[in-house]
Amino acid sequence: MTTLQSLKNAVRQRSIHVCYVDTGSCNGCDIEVLACLSPRYDLEQYGIYVHNNPREADVLLIIGGVTPQWEDKLRMVWDKIPEPKVAVSIGNCPISGCVFSRPQTLTRAPAKSYIPIAAEVPGCPPRPTEIIQAILSVAPLIFKDWELRR
């Protein structure tokens, strides 16, 4: 890897663009993700920027257990994110289904059966600091040797 490629990857790791998708949650995790945007936690001080458009994202945050309506749509959203990309499951619902994963319910957990998941943040709901730490931990995975993989 050349010096220029190393420099590009180092800069990209400090500018992470995130899009989050609620696939059927109780809004507990959604509130915690929005708390990350508050002045107390301030995502932007870490170089993390939230977008509503998946075409501008590097990281997809999945919140909530996957419902039948989201089975196909989750894959479509994942395909719209340009390479390099990773997904992070936020909360117990996309990881295991939590309390909604019972017979005769409309929750199809885990989310990793639909798209590849790079990191999981357990909790019901997880703390904003844990969410921020998970996003920062996948940043090196996104851009490591990206110039060479292309």
The torsion angle over the Cα atoms of residues 109, 115, 121 and 124, rounded to 10 degrees, is -30
Q: Which residue has the tokens 């619902």?
A: 93
Per-residue pLDDT tens for 40-93? 998 889 889 998 999 999 999 999 888 889 989 999 999 999 988 999 999 998
Nearest Cα to Cα of residue 62 among 31, 95, 85 = 95
Would residue 4 count as lying in a domain? no
Would residue 25 count as lying in a domain? yes
Would residue 6 count as lying in a domain? no
Domain around 58? 14-140
pTM: 0.87
Residue 115: what pLDDT?
93
pLDDT surpassing 80 at residue 34: yes
Dist. CA 147–CA 9, nearest whole Å: 8
> How far is C-alpha 42 from the chain's CA centre?
17
Would residue 5 count as lying in a domain? no
Would residue 54 count as lying in a domain? yes
pLDDT surpassing 80 at residue 39: yes
If one compares 103 and 52, the residue with the highest pLDDT of the two is 52
Would residue 9 count as lying in a domain? no
Q: How many C-beta atoms lie closer than 10 Å to residue 15's C-beta?
A: 12
- Total domains, the chain: 1
Q: Which residue has the tokens 């936020």?
A: 90
